[in-house]
Amino acid sequence: MRARQAAGVAVLAAAVAVMALLSVPYWKNRALGDDLTALVEQNGKAGWPVERWRVAALNVAARHGVAAAAAEVRVETRTGTPRVEIRYQKNVDLFVYTVRLHLRAKSGS
């Protein structure tokens, strides 16, 4: 019976460790989205062209350690207030397996 309990505790500890490792990129993605929202709120009425929004979003992403390409930044300016979105991938090493997360940070999220 002790072996089963020890195995159960080991599985539970492994699950908690995996959850902790996977939660970090999601928290960082949330912070990136908050900074994109702040960027849009500060400069939304400036009338920037799409390319300037893209460069500003890439600078915010770089400050967060996200290596995004210009093609991964989507900017919509139809409604008057711009909407900025960055799609990127993040690899998370889980002991013997690597998980590739597909994340999206957007303004107003």
What's 10-44 look like in SS3?
Answer: HHHHHHHHHHHHHHHHHHHHHHHHHHHHHHHHHHC
**What's the pLDDT tens digit per position in 3-29?**
999 999 999 999 999 899 999 999 999
Name the CA radius of gyration of the chain, rounded.
19
pLDDT at 80: 75
Residue 31 neighbours by CB under 8 Å, 6+ apart: 64
pLDDT at 92: 93
Break the chain into its structural domains and give their ranges. 2-106
Identify the band that residue 108 occupies on the pLDDT scale cut at 50, 70 and 90.
confident
What is the pTM (predicted TM-score) of this model? 0.83
Q: Which residue has the higher pLDDT, 42 or 95?
A: 42
Helices (H), 44-106: 50-63
Give the chain's mean pLDDT: 92
Quick one: average pLDDT of 44-56?
Answer: 91
Q: Which residue has the higher pLDDT, 49 or 78?
A: 49
Q: Is residue 103 predicted with pLDDT exceeding 80?
A: yes
pLDDT at 1: 78
